[in-house]
Amino acid sequence: MSRPDQRKREGKISSDQIGAVNLEGTSPQVTAGQLAVSGGTSLSQEAETGSREFRREGHELDRAFSAVLARLTGGISPAALSMAYLDWACHLVAAPQRQIEIAHDAWRCARQLAERSLHFADPNRSPWDLIKPQANDHRFSKPQWATQPFNLFAQAFLLGEDWWHKATTGIRGVDPANEAVVDFSLRQLLDVFAPSNFAATNPEVLDKTIRSGGENLVFGWQNWLADLKQVLQPGKASSSAEFVVGKTVATAPGKIVLRNQLIELIQYAPTTEKVRPEPILIVPAWIMKYYILDLSPHNSLVRYLTDQGFTVFMISWRNPGAKDRDLAFDDYRSLGVMAALGMIGRIVPDTQVHAVGYCLGGTLLSITAAAMARDGDSRLKTITLFAAQTDFTEAGELTLFINESQVAFLEDVMWERGYLDTTQMSGAFQLLRSNDLIWSHVSRDYLLGERANPSDLMAWNADATRLPYRMHSEYLRKLFLNNDLAEGRYQVDGKPVSLSDIHTPMFVVGTLRDHVAPWKSTYKIHYEVDADVTFALASGGHNAGIVAPPGQPGHSHQVRSKAADAPYLGPDEWLSTSPRIEGSWWPTWIVWLAQQSAAPGAPPPLGTDSSTELGSAPGDYVHT
């Protein structure tokens, strides 16, 4: 991922820091709230920069061409990919000793494989004696893969994959971001040719084909046709009669107490006679439907919180369309978090709020909290972040293609439609775990003729959302590309915000196998804020690690608290020294929340007189 150049680090203005997005062809209006400037900048410099931005925004023909090209490349910028491979190839050509090492590795692998193939039937030779699959690679985990010749096929593939990894990494002079792009993209290409993806080289498929008389291939063909129909009908989520919003998922009772053009605010009904006086406001990400935190009753975080005596409010974001292309990132703060806090203040006056943010919602909450702290707004009692990043320098493989070329390419794609489509969103996340989410699906559904048992989490995952053009462009540029929030350049109401202004106690949850928000990235909050931080590292991934109700097997977590004035502890040392607790992290969080809350009392009213006609949960926006 490209990092800001030295001029940006010194606080000098660049065209990427202009928030104005002009779509009508008129002269751009540059305001203080649209500039990310630290240090002195003259008005003439601002005007010149604004003019450059306008010229970049006005190339409709170039944008249209890029949008057409994106359909052929899967949304990947050919220029960005080419520059990465050119960087790698040029440095490899200038490294003769490294070339010799790579050639020697290839000869060694070929010799070992040839020797092994001559004795593949030798019963004294153990399987996986050349190379073993990595711990997170489950493609060859079944016992059939230990038999010959399938074990030889798998080892040959793994040797080739390992050789290419060594050939594309460790070359002196290659930019680390370009190296990661080459390694990642080649791995995606190689995964296509894994022996597990073909019926003739997959012993599981051959075994089932023989036993079923080929019935699995018939079912696989039917599954493929059903999925093809789904692809040809974009925008229609696959329906499940078992998991229906408002009937079997998103069923916690409550009322809509606020509706504006961007959100519905849900207030959930109490389930205990007495509740803590401080309500909880949950800010989910708008790249997902809110009800991941209110799935089936047995794994609903909302129900768990209300059963523990808390009043819960939840934001439900409206799914934007083409007409919402000009919604800005700050609109989600003002029309979302701030509007919700305003309504909560009317229902529960003179009371501080426990604020919770999940994923991108946590990033937004952090920005909001920093701005409130700067302005002397003390309505937040505590802040809880679920798998949320505030520093994007180590944001995992999702950032591999976040550079100027790729962002500009993606902006052109969004410019045509006015939003980022659901298929592009889900496709990007699937690539991060392609073996688990793509190729295992191919093998199971099309070759074995099976379908995974439906679950509420799968049904929620299919209920995808869109992202408006301007918001996503600002998000990518200001946060991912320039890292403005962590480096003190992000502006709210024309003035920069600093996370160090936050003194509110925080509970931060990272997940161990998170491919979207790696836990070491979320851990950086320790040295960004001036507050007491309790950090919990949960087992599982970005979703399953958060939706971890008590009583389910396989959950564990580590937790440790750090006072604001305590010395910083690095993530590796934290991991090796923090106590591990078997079971869900939810009860640990409840204990922490109770310690930050006053004694229980009578529950507040459900909404206000003016909100009685807005309807009941889950509301209307969740269906958009």
Max avg pLDDT among 7-21, 221-235, 464-478: 464-478
CATH of the domain at 580: 3.40.50.1820
pLDDT digit string (tens) for 127-186? 898 999 988 888 999 999 999 899 999 999 999 999 999 999 999 999 998 998 899 889
Query: 143 and 36, same structural domain?
Result: no
- Among 212, 234, 262, which residue terminates a domain? 212
Query: 32 and 139, same structural domain?
Result: no
CB atoms under 10 Å from CB of 587, counted, come to: 13
| Cα 191 from Cα 439, distance rounded (Å) | 8
Query: 258 and 113, same structural domain?
Result: no
CA atoms within 13 A on the CB side of 122: 11
Residue listed under structure tokens 């200038």: 94
Of the candidates 148, 204, 188, the residue with the CA atom closest to the CA atom of residue 401:
188
| Cα 173 from Cα 194, distance rounded (Å) | 31
Confidence of residue 550 (pLDDT cuts 50, 70, 90): very high
| Cα 14 from Cα 8, distance rounded (Å) | 7
Residue 494 region, left (φ>0) first, then alpha (ψ -120 to 50), else beta?
left
| 26 in any annotated domain | yes
Query: 185 and 144, same structural domain?
Result: yes
| 466 in any annotated domain | no
Q: What does pLDDT average to over the chain?
A: 86
| 334 in any annotated domain | yes
- Among 212, 240, 269, which residue terminates a domain? 212
| 422 in any annotated domain | no
| 358 in any annotated domain | yes
Q: What 3-state class would DSSP assign to 556?
A: strand
Whether 109 is catalytic: no
Residue 244 neighbours by CB under 8 Å, 6+ apart: none
Of the residues 359, 492, 502, 622, only one is catalytic, namely 359
Does 571 sit behind a cis peptide bond, omega within 30 degrees of 0 on the bond before it?
Answer: no
pLDDT score of 364 more than 90: yes
- Among 212, 239, 271, which residue terminates a domain? 212
Query: 161 and 122, same structural domain?
Result: yes
Query: 183 and 89, same structural domain?
Result: yes
- Cβ–Cβ < 8 Å for 539, 557: yes
pLDDT computed for residue 535 by the predictor: 98
User: And the tokens for 379?
Assistant: 């309505």
Q: Which residue type is seen at 60?
A: E
Query: 503 and 383, same structural domain?
Result: yes
User: And the tokens for 168?
Assistant: 């594309």
pLDDT computed for residue 406 by the predictor: 82
pLDDT computed for residue 306 by the predictor: 98
* Domain around 207: 81-212
Whole-structure pTM over 0.85, yes or no? no
Q: Which residue has the higher pLDDT, 431 or 172?
A: 172
- Number of domains within the chain: 3
Element (H, E) at 269: none
Overall average pLDDT of the 475-489 stretch: 94
Query: 159 and 41, same structural domain?
Result: no
Give me the residues paired with residue 354 across strands: 280, 382
Query: For 268, phi and psi rounded to 5 degrees?
Result: -85, 145
Of the candidates 442, 19, 545, 508, the residue with the CA atom closest to the CA atom of residue 223:
442
Query: 566 and 504, same structural domain?
Result: yes
| Cα 375 from Cα 74, distance rounded (Å) | 44
pLDDT digit string (tens) for 207-217? 999 999 999 99
pLDDT computed for residue 242 by the predictor: 82
| 449 in any annotated domain | no
| 239 in any annotated domain | no
| 463 in any annotated domain | no
Query: 263 and 386, same structural domain?
Result: yes
| Cα 111 from Cα 81, distance rounded (Å) | 33
